[in-house]
Amino acid sequence: MWTSKQIQPNPLNALWNFATGHLPDFLNKQDGPVGWVRWSHRGVQFLDQFSIPRKQKSYIFNSGFELRFNTAFEEVLRACADPNRDYIQRRSGQSWITDELIAALLALRKMGFAHSFETWHEQRLVGGIWGVQIGGLITMSSMFNRVSNASKAAMARTMLHLKDRGFTLVDMGMVPDHLVHFGAQWIPRWQYESLLPYLIHQRLSLTDEFPAPDLPRSIAWRLPVLRAMRALRRRLATDRPDDERMEVENHANGNPCADSAHPSNDARPIQPGPTTPGEPTAVASSPQYGPVASERPKADPDTAAAPPRQTAKETAAARLD
């Protein structure tokens, strides 16, 4: 079934999981099997808080760099997935972008749901990012460089372009240290998922050339059903994030997890709201999200304090190089 948490080449599998707040990652956050997961926190960039550090402007606005969209999507995707990249080799030597995920994303590009944000120099692709768009929800899921600062230029210029097009948030998945300086931050899972209905129903497009397609009806009607089920599980305190659930299982099996990829306190997370059951809580620090609210369950594990900096730094770097 395409609603599975197992990564499949079926584009509906990827579309469903992105629309429901999952992201593809190593199940143990480092190497080995890959699947669709919901970690306790999500790295995002609110576009009204995006800023380019003064020292970075000369690199990002380098006149030799040209920003293009969707002219080399497969090349960008495969470059991000290449396990022979020096950065990946210095880590596990394995990419979380599997062949099944590549097949699904290539199909999503044909459907209009996936994009590449590319940096070109002298008619050569030198860096880029791939992401998925569902209405006003847009991701920057992985990036690569062939020339210094090329992916950073693609990221920053695309952020400015998206803001001009009416987008308000970019899902980064994680928050590497170098993106904190641009305004990226961690938010709790409950907060991110509370934003999804609002974002998905926005009618926005990357460019006039690439209008956003409608969600397939087979996915659209399931989303409110899933949200209702999750709300019930939160009230029963059974809707645990995957990383906490795995940690509990590891301890139960006598195999305590040494590291957990929760965000760091110094990555500027948003302060959680009230914890009184049934009390409405604004779900974003940006004033643009003021009307959107979510019920904050008393026992929600996502309110737990974020673990040490080193864990978040290493995990975020593994996703966004």
Q: How far apart are CA 193 and CA 226, in angstroms?
A: 11
Q: Do 155 and 5 touch, CB atoms closer than 8 A?
A: no
The answer to whether position 256 is within a domain reads: no
Residue 61: CATH number of its domain:
3.40.630.70
Q: In this structure, what are the phi and psi dihedrals at residue 80, rounded to the nearest 5 degrees?
A: -65, -35
pLDDT of residue 319: 59
> What is the greatest pairwise CA distance in the chain?
58
Give Cα separations from 253 to 37, 246, 293 (angstroms).
21, 10, 38
For residue 63, the number of C-alpha atoms closer than 13 Å in the C-beta half-sphere is 0
The answer to whether position 313 is within a domain reads: yes
**What is the domain range of residue 102?**
11-234+263-319
Q: In this structure, what are the phi and psi dihedrals at residue 145, rounded to the nearest 5 degrees?
A: -125, 140
The answer to whether position 271 is within a domain reads: yes
The answer to whether position 101 is within a domain reads: yes
Q: Structurally, how many domains does the chain consist of?
A: 1
The answer to whether position 6 is within a domain reads: no
pLDDT of residue 252: 56
pLDDT of residue 275: 33
- State the DSSP code for 85: S
pLDDT of residue 221: 96
pLDDT of residue 244: 63
Q: What is the 3-state secondary structure (H, E, C) of 130-151?
A: EEEEECCEEECCEEEECCCCHH
pLDDT of residue 225: 95
The answer to whether position 253 is within a domain reads: no
The answer to whether position 248 is within a domain reads: no
Q: How far apart are CA 263 and CA 43, in angstroms?
A: 8
Q: What is the pLDDT along the chain (321 residues), one digit of tens a residue?
A: 888 899 999 999 999 999 999 999 999 888 899 999 999 999 999 999 999 999 999 999 999 999 999 999 999 999 999 998 877 777 778 899 999 999 999 999 999 999 999 999 999 999 999 999 999 999 999 999 999 999 999 999 999 999 999 999 999 999 987 788 899 999 999 999 999 999 999 999 999 999 999 999 999 999 999 999 998 988 888 777 776 666 555 555 555 443 333 333 333 333 333 333 333 333 344 444 443 333 333 334 343 334 333 344 445 555 565
pTM: 0.79
The answer to whether position 5 is within a domain reads: no
